[in-house]
Amino acid sequence: MYIHTVKSGDSLWQLSQTYNIPLEAVYSANGLSQQSILVIGEAVIIPTPSIGTTYTVKSGDTLWSIGQRYGLSVRELAKANRIRNPALIFPGQVLQIPAGSKPIIEVNAYTEKFGADGVQLVRDVGEYLTYLSPFSYRVKVNGELTPINDEGVIAAAYEKRVAPMMVITNFENGSFSPDIAHAVVSNAAIQTAVIAECVAVMKLKGYLAIHVDFEYVPPADKTLYNEFLQNLVNEMHQYNYLVSAALAPKQSGEQMGTLYEAHDYEAMGKILDFVVLMTYEWGWSGGPPRAVAPLNEVAKVVNYALSVMPPEKIMLGMPLYGYDWTLPYVQGGIWAPTVSPYEAVVRAAKYGAEIQYDTESQSPWYGYYDEEGKEHVVWFEDARSVQAKFDFVKTNKLRGVSYWVLGVPFPQNWYVLGENFTIRKLV
């Protein structure tokens, strides 16, 4: 594929003619239609013929620009075509595009949607998933689990060869409870009950893995939390179940704060089969405007993780959403609503905004004024920002990626994911 940044005067028809591909292919890759309005600065995926084929050089082409379309270096193209001087190519020349295998990764996605809507979501994107994580079984302070209606999405997951992954949390009344986490990790009887009930649910429902998302664990309970995870692993491995956990985005082992301190990267890297780094929410609904998952900050978290655990245990957290802030930002004021990447572009078109791309965070954004004259700024994700993250995953040979959360329309993400990777299936 090739990612085109829209300029003044561009149209979908013109792009299809320029790149010599069917208009319907552009619609499909981007989730667009005949009614879609292009926005200056918007990223548009241009599907290209699959590798292992040929390409006819056009006026203005270089080996570098052709290589960008196919994810190949100048050296790879020159070698495949026995070109001694990469500068000497000419219009009409037919080049061989060498076939290559895409890296194999694992992909997880959380879902909070169940019933018919949740089932349809799984069917829509299941081909791109290794795991589906219904969110969530909430642990009570007495060790009991709050049940969820997950049978439908689990069945849909199996239809698409996706492994269901049970999620347990210390979530209660709209927030993560330190008291629940403390009760589970500090009380042997409660801990035994939690683990036994998890095994029973997994056997009954057909789960193949379990994922622990305990947040705001009291810092003093760090060792107890590690021991709980080890006990969970010991039990689950008897049934060949995989065990993972969500980790707060730490950039060093000394990072302070209740969210971070009990998440022991080094110990959890040794105990668990894999971890999910929650590398999002730098820009969050109640905070000041900024990119949700700025790559420059994400990289700091991953680099720290890589210093204490192997890359094959690390899944990079990725957002499927953005936020629309009303300015001026006031701490404690009205929270920014979530916006899908698809809706973000539609909104930019509605208000005549031009989309900008911040190269430091590798994230798109734009500003606009609404009907009441209020100023807004929107940060979101697009094909360029997810490609930058996928390049980072490949460079660091990470286990894979994990999405929060299904149900936020982002057609470009799935196309770009499929073009970059082969998705491992465990079912």
How many angstroms separate the CA atoms of 217 and 308, rounded?
A: 21
Q: Where are the beta strands (DSSP E) in 173-239?
A: 175-176, 209-213
- Tokens representing 141 are 């302070």
Q: Do domains 1-49 and 52-99 have the same CATH topology?
A: yes
Question: Percent of the chain scored above 70 by pLDDT?
Answer: 98
Nearest to 282 by CA among 194, 178, 177, 363: 363
Residue where the block lists tokens 């057609």: 411
Per domain, the residue ranges of the chain are 1-49, 52-99, 104-319+388-423
Q: Using pLDDT thresholds of 50, 70 and 90, give the confidence band for residue 269.
A: very high
How many angstroms separate the CA atoms of 141 and 184, rounded?
A: 7
- Tokens representing 73 are 């270096």
Average pLDDT over residues 336-355: 98
> Mean of the per-residue pLDDT values for the chain?
95
pLDDT tens per residue across span 275-334: 999 999 999 999 999 999 999 999 999 999 999 999 999 999 999 999 999 999 999 999
- Tokens representing 342 are 């698809």
Is residue 379 packed enough to be buried (19+ CB in 10 Å), middle (13-18) or exposed (0-12)?
Answer: buried
Q: Which helix (H) or strand (E) holds 245?
A: strand 242-247
Q: Which of 215, 261, 381, 419 is catalytic?
A: 215
- Tokens representing 42 are 């918007």
Q: Mark residue 121 as left, alpha or beta (left: phi above 0; alpha: psi -120 to 50; beta: remaining).
A: alpha
How many angstroms separate the CA atoms of 355 and 366, rounded?
A: 5
CATH topology of domain 104-319+388-423: TIM Barrel (3.20.20)
The reply to whether 215 belongs to the active site is yes
Question: Percent of the chain scored above 90 by pLDDT?
Answer: 89
pLDDT tens per residue across span 90-144: 999 999 888 766 889 999 999 999 999 999 999 999 999 999 999 999 999 999 9
Is residue 50 packed enough to be buried (19+ CB in 10 Å), middle (13-18) or exposed (0-12)?
Answer: exposed
Q: Using pLDDT thresholds of 50, 70 and 90, give the confidence band for residue 72.
A: confident
Contact 297, 250 (CB under 8 A): no
- Tokens representing 160 are 């698409």
Is residue 413's pLDDT more than 60? yes
Is residue 52's pLDDT more than 60? yes
Q: Where are the beta strands (DSSP E) in 81-237?
A: 94-96, 104-111, 131-134, 137-139, 145-146, 163-169, 171-172, 175-176, 209-213
| pLDDT of the residue at 16 | 93
How many angstroms separate the CA atoms of 50 and 98, rounded?
A: 10
How many angstroms separate the CA atoms of 225 and 217, rounded?
A: 8
**Nearby residues of 380 by Cβ (< 8 Å), 6 or more positions away:** 292, 321, 322, 323, 339, 340, 341, 344, 363, 364, 365
How would CATH label the architecture of 52-99? Roll (3.10)
Average pLDDT over residues 70-94: 88
Average pLDDT over residues 351-372: 98
Q: How many CB atoms lie within 10 A of CB 2?
A: 16
291 φ, ψ to 5°? Answer: -60, 140
How many angstroms separate the CA atoms of 66 and 200, rounded?
A: 54
Question: Minimum mean pLDDT among 48-62, 323-337, 343-357: which range?
Answer: 48-62
Domain 1-49 in this protein, CATH class: alpha beta
Average pLDDT over residues 22-43: 96
Average pLDDT over residues 390-395: 94
Q: Using pLDDT thresholds of 50, 70 and 90, give the confidence band for residue 56.
A: confident
